[in-house]
Amino acid sequence: MTDSRELGDAVYVELWVSLASLLRSYTAAHGLNGNRQATVELGEERILVRHGERWLDLQRAGERVSWTRENGSDGVLEMTEAGRLRSRDPRFQNRDLHPSGQRPLAGDPGGLGHPESSEEEMDVMAEAWARELMR
């Protein structure tokens, strides 16, 4: 019999694979016009995305996701079973949720600049990270 913890871990593994797939798709889409490509390496607990000098390193422990960028910005997020990424510390939610590590403008299309935003759809985050890496 499978206990709820094992079932929960399986959900996060599937979400992790989905996140890597989203990053592959969005970096490919953002690279089409300039004939540019990013590499996306997937492991059980790590996703590494590289494009030229830019990179994004994601590390997973259960539902916890730590991210680091080449510019030294970093953050900690939590995957939800609903397929969202949530800030683990509301004091740093804007820094954690924005892929560049900088505070976004209030009109940011992803809604990440709004102080009350502490959770974002995984595909929106993957697209924002891809856009930032491929610019």
95: pLDDT strictly greater than 60: no
pLDDT (tens digit per residue) in 96-107 = 445 555 544 333
Tell me, what's the pLDDT at 33?
Answer: 83
**Beta carbons of 126 and 84 less than 8 angstroms apart:** no
Tell me, what's the pLDDT at 3?
Answer: 59
pLDDT (tens digit per residue) in 7-26 = 678 999 999 999 999 999 99
Contacts 24+ apart (CB under 8 A), 67-74: 69/99, 69/100, 69/101, 71/100, 71/101, 72/101, 73/100, 73/101, 73/102, 74/101
Q: What is d(CA 26, CA 130) in angstroms, rounded to the nearest whole number? A: 6
110: pLDDT strictly greater than 60: no
Q: What is d(CA 98, CA 114) in angstroms, rounded to the nearest whole number? A: 11
Which tops the pLDDT comparison, 7 or 73?
73
- For residue 2, name the pLDDT band (cuts at 50, 70, 90): low
pLDDT (tens digit per residue) in 24-68 = 999 999 999 888 899 999 999 999 999 999 999 999 999 999 999
